[in-house]
Every structure is written in structure tokens, then in C-alpha cells.
Amino acid sequence: MEAILLVGGQGTRLRPLTISTPKPLLPTAGVAFLAHQLARAHAEGVERIVFATSYRAEMFEEAFGNRAHGVDLVYVVEDEPLGTGGAIRNAARALTSGPDDPVLILNGDILSGHDVRAQVKLHEEAGAAVTLHLTEVDDPSRFGCVPTDDHGRVTAFLEKTPDPVTNQINAGCYVFRRSVIDTIPEGEVVSVERETFPALIASGATVMGHVESGYWLDVGTPEAFVRGSRDLVLGALASPAMPGEPGERLTLPGASVAADAVVAGGTSIGRGAVIESGATVTGSVLLDDAFVAEGATVRDSVLSRGARVGGGAVLDGVVLGDGAVVGPGNELRGGLRVWPGVELPPTAVRFSADT
Ligand code: GTP
């Protein structure tokens, strides 16, 4: 089976991490986020993937070449971002599938353990135009929701509302009949979520919902990105691409961790990163050459390449951009983001977004 992977978004919610690296290439549990998706797609029977690229397009081919994790790869670049539907239509020119074949569409920022083969089987048995993976969430008011009838047929594609009719939401993985992709207008900005799916339902086309609520995470925000990396390191979601066994921490070659530092909770430590004596690092992502000095505490945070945390500083739920420096004795909490290259002098900040 062939797939189209949507990776052209700017990842604005993940800035400053996405200034130098597109979201799907951010190191996650030791490898580019997409490596986990490619390995999983291969395990689910996908043989060839067309990357729909736009933002920092050239970086994808540099990262993966023409074959990785058992899958053949081709790249299609948009001159201007075309939105999710326009990107699918544009990438379809590189498909080799026939008109009735199923084509898998994957959002490039989803970690999912769902059964893709079962989704494809439902699609083929129903003779559907499109079959969506739907997952159930506790608070559907934060998402658009997707009700289905007793036969699993999607009856509506609803925008966010404070009073949702179902807890089923669009999980960002679709099976399209190839010929249906060809009905999306060419060379235009189109959203599958806002335009294509509602129009297909209104026209009476068969749109099916494959409801499965195993592990699922949209890594579009810093909190979710940290959680995704942590879950992979801890083994909450198994990934064939993980460069090590699941456990409390993943230490890449060339990293250095003092014997009396406490590093746990699914932390990943990049190449050349250093954690000094007496430091505590839990549930965090340290990219290459990050540095945590003596006695510092880092929790649920991301330290980008070369970012430095000074002695005794405390970080909780914080994102440091490339080369950012937090001087000794600072205390940063509650979603604070420090832009690349910014240096906070010693004890300059005692900040909590909550106070
Ligand atoms: P935010 O800016 O933080 O919302 O992130 P995003 O740009 O990734 O947008 P969103 O999470 O809504 O996108 C869902 C998926 O579609 C991601 O995998 C994006 O890379 C991809 N995507 C969004 N817009 C485009 C586009 O115009 N072209 C292409 N090729 N992919 C897109």
C-alpha cells in the first residue's frame, strides 16, 4: 500500500523548537519524530510513502533519502502551502496506485498505536470513499467531533463546540479511495477537515469511521511533545525505531551523566549532552550538547541543542531554544519558553506562569 505523509506545516504552536527544525523532524526518544511513524507504517504494510512538504522542505530528503525503515520514499514540494487537502491533491501526482486502490494519509505529528490494517479492511468492506480513524477523548469540547451511525458511517463533521454530541474525534489518519483524492481541486488551498470531509458527507458519499481508542497523541504542543517522547522512552507506545530498550531513560552515545545525578521518568539525553553531579532530570527531552549543571532540577522540559541550565536552577514545564542559557539560581515554571540564544543572568528570574 502507498501513503501520503503530511509534513508541510509550520508547527507554530511548538516554537521556538520549530524555528530551525520542522516539527516532524524534531528528535523524539532519540530519533526524528517521523522515524517512529515510518517504522510503524512499514509494520502496518505500507511500502511506499509520498512526503507532502512545504516548510523547510529540503530537510526531509536530507534526513531520510529514498528509503528508510523498510519504506521507499519520494518527496513532493509545494511552492506555497496548500493546506491539508491541497497538499494531498498535490502529492497524489507521485502515487502509482490505481483509481480504486486505498491510499493511506497520515498527519506528520501523530503518535498512534491503532490497527491500520483493520481501518483499511473496514474501508474495503464498506466500499467507502474515505475511512477515518476516530479516537475517543475525555474532553471532546477542545476538538471538532465526528459522530457515526450504528453501521459506523460518519454522519457529520462538526466544528469545536462547548456541547459536543459525541466524544469521538478525528485522529488524523485517513484511508482515501485514490479516485476520491482526484476530486479535490488542484493547485488551491483546501482543508480536508473544513471542506473535503463535510462536502463528501453532504454529497452522500460513504465516509466510514474506524473507532479505536488505544494510544493516541497529537504532539503539536510543547507539553504533548514532551509527553510523546517520554511515553516512547518508557515503552507506553512500542516503537521499532527506538534506539534502545524502553526504560526510565534513554542515553545516546557520547552523553555524560554524573553517577549521583537522578535521571528518570522517560528522559532522553542527546549526543554530547552533560548532566552534572547532584542534578535531577525527570520526564524531559535533552537534545544534543544540552548541559545541566550541578544541583539543577529539570522536569517535563525541553532543552534544545546546546541549551544550558546553570547550577541550582529549577525548570518545570519549560522550553529552551537552541543555545539558550539559564544562569544559576533561576526558577522557571509553567510553560515558559526561552528563545534561541537568549541568556538569563544568574538569579534574574523567579517566574511561574501560574502566579
Ligand atoms: P501549528 O502551526 O502548530 O498548528 O502546526 P501545523 O503547521 O503542523 O498544523 P497542523 O497541526 O494543523 O497540521 C496537521 C498536519 O498537516 C501536520 O502534519 C502538518 O505538517 C500538515 N500540514 C498542515 N498544513 C499543511 C500544508 O499547507 N501543506 C502540507 N504539505 N502539510 C501541511
Whether 160 is catalytic is yes
Write the pLDDT tens digit of every residue in 37-56. 999 999 999 999 999 999 99
Q: Are residue 86 and residue 142 in the same domain, yes or no? A: yes
pLDDT at 355: 45
Q: Is residue 184 domain-resident?
A: yes
- CB of 82 sitting under 6 A from ligand 1: yes
Q: In the chain, which stretches have pLDDT less than 50?
A: 355
Total domain count for the chain?
A: 2
- CB of 17 sitting under 6 A from ligand 1: no
Q: Are residue 193 and residue 266 in the same domain, yes or no? A: no
Measured distance CA(33)–CA(239) in Å, rounded: 11
Q: Is residue 77 domain-resident?
A: yes
User: What is the β-pairing status of strands 71-77 and 67-68?
Assistant: antiparallel
Q: Are residue 114 and residue 15 in the same domain, yes or no? A: yes
H or E element: which one contains 275?
Answer: strand 274-275
Pocket test residue of 56, 60, 107, 174 for ligand 1, highest count of atoms within 8 A of CB: 107
Q: Is residue 228 domain-resident?
A: no
- CB of 54 sitting under 6 A from ligand 1: yes
Q: Are residue 182 and residue 93 in the same domain, yes or no? A: yes
Domain that holds residue 323: 248-352
Q: Are residue 336 and residue 257 in the same domain, yes or no? A: yes
Catalytic residue among 160, 202, 203, 244: 160
Q: Are residue 58 and residue 134 in the same domain, yes or no? A: yes
Q: Are residue 74 and residue 167 in the same domain, yes or no? A: yes
Looking at residue 333, which CATH number applies to its domain? 2.160.10.10
Q: Are residue 135 and residue 252 in the same domain, yes or no? A: no
Q: Are residue 211 and residue 343 in the same domain, yes or no? A: no
State the distance from the centre of ligand 1 to the C-alpha of 8, rounded, in angstroms.
6
Write the pLDDT tens digit of every residue in 77-98. 999 999 999 999 999 999 999 9
Write the pLDDT tens digit of every residue in 332-350. 998 899 999 999 988 877 7
pLDDT at 37: 96
| Domain end call among 218, 234, 268 | 218
Measured from the Cα of 52, ligand 1's closest atom is 30
Q: Are residue 252 and residue 207 in the same domain, yes or no? A: no
Measured from the Cα of 14, ligand 1's closest atom is 3
Q: Are 341 and 323 in contact (CB under 8 A)?
A: yes
Q: Is residue 233 domain-resident?
A: no
Looking at residue 160, which CATH number applies to its domain? 3.90.550.10
Nearest CA to ligand 1 atom 31: 8
Among 104, 302, 304, smallest CA distance to 210 is for: 104
Q: Is the peptide bond before 16 cis (omega within 30 degrees of 0)?
A: yes
Q: Is residue 243 domain-resident?
A: no
